[in-house]
Structure 1
Amino acid sequence: NIVTAEAVYNFQPNKSIRFEAEHLWADADFKNWAGGTVELNLNDKYSFYVWDIINYGNDDTSKQKHYYNFGGAYRINSTRIAMNYGRQRGGLVCVGGVCRFVPESTGFSLSINTAF
């Protein structure tokens, strides 16, 4: 079972803050998880975020996992440059319909996307 809530508050037409909270109840694997996101969009060019998920429900406390991540993005015309730091949960990651297996890791990430 999972429950999620999301809210967006617009300061101005081009400035907003978004909050998201999630909770997962499970009886198998790592059991219960909780997570949250805060995202600040300053205009159509700059955005910043912080998110965190924690596996607090595992009976074996040495296997309880905590994944945090924070970063930002800059957009100019059709190009987006993003940088973040945090822990990546290992497993299958799907973005835009493309899925790949990634190992668990901690560190910096930089991505550049453009459309032409």
Structure 2
Amino acid sequence: MLKIIQPRLSELSYRKKIMQDIETMSYNAHYNLDFPEYNNDTGCILFDESSWKSWYSKWINNEPTRFYAYLQNEDGNYVGEINYHLDSSSNTHQIGILIEAKYRGLGYGLEGLKLLIEKANKMD
């Protein structure tokens, strides 16, 4: 059973870890995203500590416009992240789910998606 955990600023090291993990981010490779922190070859995203404060203020405690949280398994390990946000340029709601590579294939993606949908419905 997964739990949704909103991280503290000091806990963003897990996000940094998965954003820079080649196996976890391989799905994201070769999309030609146009920002300097993105590595087109690996799909990894540099998430330097100098950006944490501004990122945190944008993503945390900004419901219903934005929601971000870690997924924590029954053993207390973070297994991934989920998010929800309103894209004002397209006026659409978008969701994201990322499961750390070593935890894939264990049902966490589906369970996390269900938790995210439940959370998004409460924000509506």
User: Normalized against structure 2, the TM-score is what?
Assistant: 0.29
Larger radius of gyration: 1
Larger relative contact order (Cα-Cα within 8 Å, sequence gap ≥ 6): 2
Q: Pick the structure with more strand per residue.
A: 1
User: Larger % of helix: which?
Assistant: 2
